[in-house]
A and B are shown apart, each in its own frame.
Chain A
Amino acid sequence: MSSARDNILKRLRSKPRDTGEVQDRLVPDHGWNQQEKIEHLSHQMQAVRTEVQRLGESQWIDWLNSELPKRKLNRVLTGHTNEGQAFKDRAETSLDVQYYAQNIESFKTGLFNKIDVGITTTRGGIADTGSLILWPDEHEPRLLSLVPPVHIALLKANEIYESLAQAIEIQEWEQGMPSNALLVSGPSKTADIQQTLAYGIHGPKELIVLILE
């Protein structure tokens, strides 16, 4: 007895088709330098309420130490990465910094209820849409950038690509995709009620991008 799979494929093959080629792929080529990429990225991000801070590479920890207590974001979650460790080591005393280092099964209540801000690194950014590239892994789990109400992302200025096409090509994504790859382009939002824009529906209410130059 033939399976659904067999039946479906058989029907799809009942009339062979010419494949045809995709002509003239239009890959955007703006020719932006790093400054321009930073500016385009920032502009796109700020248009959707992302907070963008441009900092020197060595300044971000000081910035966090100064800002997080001010904003009452004391319960901090980071990945167990070099950056995460660097911050935990130098974190201001009023801040309670944890690593997201155990399975979600044993951390659910904590993650959903007891964290004010999640900090992640990024795998670069995309200037023309104002997007961050995140490839969560065992050190920076998926929910780190999603569940805490505030998400802070560290973006290296020299890892900003012009476009998604460029990022995919240069980073060679086709060589192997992670279990989850993400593009994040702002805080969570919806316009499902009367077409009125509202922020912070299910994902983070705030996205703060620290561009490190």
Chain B
Amino acid sequence: MQQTEVFSQRINKALANHQARLSLRDTMDRLKLKRLQQFPDKQHLDELRHQAKSIRQKALNHLPDLLEQLEKKLTENGIKVHWAEAPEQANSIIHEILNKAGAKSVVKGKSMVSEEIDMNAYLEQRGIEVIESDLGEFIIQLAHEPPSHIIMPAIHKNARDVAKLFHQHFPELAYTEDVNELTLSARKILRDRFANADAGISGVNFAVAETGTLCLVENEGNGRLSTTTPDIHIAITGIEKVIEKLEDLPPLLNILPKTATGQPVTTYVNMISSPRKAHEKDGPRQVHLVLLDNTRSDIHSSEDFIDTLRCIRCGSCINHCPVYVQVGGHAYGSTYPGPIGTVLEPQRIGLQQMGNLTSACTLCGACAEVCPVQIPLPSLINQLRAESISTQFSDSRISGKGSLRKRSEALAWKLWSVTYAQPWLYGIFRWTATRLRFLAPSRLGGWTKYRTSPKPAAKTLHELARQQGFDNE
């Protein structure tokens, strides 16, 4: 299947890059440690996770009501709310807002949803300049690459890579690999974009229904600048990001930065509830929120998969994934990589195109162990495997059910199950394997590339148990 080959190529390319693997390994080791240092008491950590889970789950349980309440409050506050079922619609809405205002330049705060709908390309094709202002996003924009991590988009680039990129695009600046100098350069370059952009576009971390408030967290200040200086602010979010009350914010704001980057708090927490009011001197005079569905309502309808929507996009699962650390984010070929990507993308895009991601997982459970909202990621991945090879597994609305079923594989499992479910058949198999063990192949494809091949024992445990006189029942 083509999907398998393409995925395979990307994986092998990633594995061949030893330097990148070493670098990623070092980064992830440090991130894991930093997170642990924020949570010295395991029992307390589990209580915090349980609390975050219940807040998110409760919000999902009455999501339509909360969305209506959010819309009502935002509208009362002067923020205009738009609904989009699919990427094309969302992009069109955003484009129309900009067009109407004659906006030609946009400065962007970080938004994974905007990556999901490929917004930058859409706007650029229509003559609107889009500049990423988050340093990581700015770097990959210069490199014409997608993000490789949902929190640290340029995690795959080292200082030398960045130095080369800056020097290539801004030759007037002296070449330097010093991180502080590179940071200062980025500040200078982007300063005037903040000052002069016609519009700012951002994501949303949490949308509070109770007060009609958009909550954004960040360390750099680019989020605040993008959402305050230009005259228009457009925020885009998935519909699942609503929370019910202001009092739900502190527990989530507590656990999010600690688990994501090992910080007790982000530098800025930015809570926006209205455009510039009369007599206020700054702030956008137009604020819009675009609510994007893009299969989220379908995921919501499935009892088996609704847990996916609790995600608060911390990236912790990615940081702890033993597969991600080997292949990096680009190998996945999806907007969202790692464990959350493996669960979300097949549901968002379809099993036919993305179902293969589920094969790049050992179900080790490291992700679920750290997820601040206790999403049972390995269980969901395993369920997606079942959806891939059967149309009968559940009543979910995932597209491409059964599309990865191969007749040969299904037959092999059928034969296997017939053998292993019949004691006498399994007995024959045992006899054959042990008595003819000298025939066991020493080359077993992928296995023996890295290991010697296992050889059946001379006698099975069945035989040894019988010989030693252990009871049969």
A22-B54, A25-B251 known; A177-B62 Cβ under 8 A: no
Q: Shortest beta-carbon distance, B22 to chain A, in Å? A: 13
Closest to A104 in B: B282
Cα–Cα, bound, A177→B210 (Å): 10
B179–A194 touching, CB < 8 Å: yes
Report the Cα distance A115→B264, complex, angstroms. Answer: 31
Structural contact, B264 and A196, CB atoms closer than 8 A: no
Closest chain-B Cβ to A199's Cβ sits at a distance in Å of 8
In this complex, what residue of B is CB-closest to A195? B27
A140 to B280 alpha-carbon distance, docked (Å): 9
The answer to whether A24 and B51 have CB atoms under 8 Å apart is yes
The digit string for B102-135, where 1 denotes a CB below 8 A from any CB of A, is 0000000000000000000000000000000111
Answer whether A192 and B58 are a contact pair too, CB < 8 Å, given A142-B283, A179-B273, A182-B269. Answer: no
> Which residues does chain B contribute within 8 Å of A200, judged by CB atoms?
183-184, 187
In the bound complex, do residue A44 and residue B264 qualify as a contact, i.e. CB atoms below 8 Å apart? yes
The 14 listed contacts between A and B (C-beta, < 8 Å) are A14-B301, A17-B61, A25-B247, A26-B47, A27-B250, A112-B191, A129-B265, A146-B221, A169-B247, A182-B268, A185-B265, A196-B179, A201-B222, A202-B190
**Closest Cβ–Cβ distance, residue A184 to chain B (whole Å):** 6
Neighbouring B residues of A101 by C-beta, 8 Å = 281
Q: Which of B2-10, B83-91, B335-343, B431-439 contacts A (4 or more CB under 8 A)?
A: B83-91
**With known contacts A180-B228, A196-B159, A12–B67 Cβ distance under 8 A:** yes
Knowing A112-B191, A202-B190 touch, does A177 contact B271 (C-beta < 8 A)?
yes
* Chain A residues whose C-beta falls within 8 Å of the C-beta of B212 in the assembled complex: 177
Interface assignment of A84: CB less than 8 Å from any CB of chain B? no
Determine if B61 and A18 form an interchain contact, defined as CB atoms under 8 angstroms apart: yes
* Cα-based distance from A164 to B248 in the complex (angstroms): 11
Q: Complex Cα distance A129/B61, Å?
A: 31
Residues of A127-147 contacting chain B, CB below 8 A: 128-131, 136-138, 141-143, 146-147
Contact flags B58-100 to A (C-beta < 8 A → 1, else 0)? 1011111001100000000000000111000100000000000
Output the least CB separation between B329 and chain A (Å). Answer: 14
Contact stretch, chosen from A2-10, A31-39, A58-66, A88-96: A2-10
Interface pair B268/A142, CB less than 8 Å apart: no
Is B239 part of the contact surface with A, judged by Cβ < 8 Å? yes
Q: For the complex, is A193 an interface residue (Cβ under 8 Å from B)? A: yes
Bound together, the chains give a CA A26 to CA B190 distance in angstroms of 41
Judge if A29 is at the interface, Cβ distance under 8 Å: no
Rounded to whole angstroms, the CA-CA distance of A170 and B455 in the bound complex is 70
Give the CA-CA distance A174 to B244 in the complex, in Å. 12
Report if A71 contacts B (CB, 8 A): no
- A4 touching B84 by the CB < 8 A rule? yes
Question: Which residue of chain A lies nearest to B217 when distances are taken between CB atoms in the complex?
Answer: A183
Contact flags B337-378 to A (C-beta < 8 A → 1, else 0): 000000000000000000000000000000000000000000
Give 6 A-B pairs besides A184-B267, A202-B225 with Cβ atoms closer than 8 angstroms. Answer: A7-B85, A8-B67, A12-B64, A25-B51, A174-B211, A203-B267
**Given contacts A137-B280, A192-B139, A198-B179, A13 and B51 within 8 Å (CB-CB):** no
Given contacts A5-B83, A179-B277, contact A188 B250 (CB under 8 A): no
Q: Among the interface residues A12, A21, A108, A165, which one has the most CB atoms of the partner chain B within 10 A?
A: A12
Interface contact A141-B281, CB-CB below 8 Å = yes
Report chain A residues within 8 Å CB of B179: 193-194, 196, 198
- Cross-chain contact B54 with A23 (CB below 8 angstroms): yes
A8, A24, A131: which contacts B297 (Cβ < 8 A)? A8
Task: Kindly supply a per-residue 1/0 record for chain B positions 234-253, scoring 1 wherever the CB is within 8 Å of any chain A CB and 0 otherwise.
Answer: 00000100000111111101
Partner of B249, one of A131, A143, A168, A198: A168
Determine the distance from Cα of A198 to Cα of B267 in the docked complex, in whole angstroms: 13
Contact of B186 among A8, A108, A130, A201 (CB under 8 A): A201
For the complex, what is the distance from the CA of A9 to the CA of B239, rounded to whole Å? 10
A112: min CB distance to chain B, Å: 5
User: Which one of B182, B250, B268 lies within 8 Å of A168 (CB-CB)?
Assistant: B250
CB distance from A52 to the nearest CB of B (A): 16
Task: Tell me, yes or no, whether A82 is within 8 Å of chain B by CB.
Answer: no
Most chain B CB neighbours (cut-off 10 Å) among A13, A136, A146, A200 = A146
Please tell me if B21 contacts chain A, counting CB pairs below 8 Å. Answer: no
- Complex alpha-carbon distance, A162 and B277, angstroms: 31
Per-residue CB contact flags for chain B residues 140-168 toward chain A (1 = under 8 Å, else 0) read 00000000000011110111001000000
Beyond A24-B51, A179-B273, A182-B269, is A138–B279 a contact (Cβ under 8 Å)?
yes
**A interface residues (Cβ-Cβ under 8 A, vs B):** 3-5, 7-9, 11-15, 17-27, 44, 48, 100-104, 107-108, 112, 128-131, 136-138, 141-143, 146-147, 163-165, 168-169, 173-174, 176-196, 198-204
The answer on a CB contact under 8 Å between B195 and A203 is no
Residues on B with beta carbons closer than 8 Å to the beta carbon of A204: 221
B270 within 8 A of A: yes
Flag whether B203 is at the interface (Cβ < 8 A).
no
Is B320 part of the contact surface with A, judged by Cβ < 8 Å?
no
Q: Are B224 and A203 in contact (CB under 8 A)?
A: yes
Assembly CA distance A23 to B61 (angstroms) = 15
In the A-B complex, list the 9 residue pairs whose CB atoms are closest, starting with the nearest.
A203-B221, A11-B297, A192-B136, A183-B269, A129-B265, A104-B282, A198-B183, A202-B221, A141-B281
Docked Cα-Cα span, A93 to B137, in Å, equals: 44
**If the complex has contacts A179-B277, A200-B184, are A189 and B267 also in contact, measured as CB distance less than 8 A?**
yes
- Report the minimal beta-carbon distance from A66 to chain B, rounded to whole angstroms: 28
The distance in angstroms between the C-alpha atoms of A179 and B247, with both chains bound, is 18
Given contacts A179-B275, A203-B221, contact A21 B58 (CB under 8 A): yes
Are the CB atoms of A180 and B51 closer together than 8 Å? no
A195 near B155 (CB under 8 angstroms)?
A: yes
- Check B57 against A9 for contact (C-beta < 8 Å): no
Q: Shortest beta-carbon distance, A153 to chain B, in Å? A: 13
Chain B contacts of A165 at CB under 8 A?
247, 250-251
Beta-carbon contact of B183 and A193 below 8 Å:
yes
B62 lies within 8 A of A19 (CB): yes
- Min CB distance, A35 to chain B, in Å? 21
Chain B residues with Cβ under 8 A from A178's Cβ? 273-274
Of all chain B residues, which has the CB nearest A130?
B265
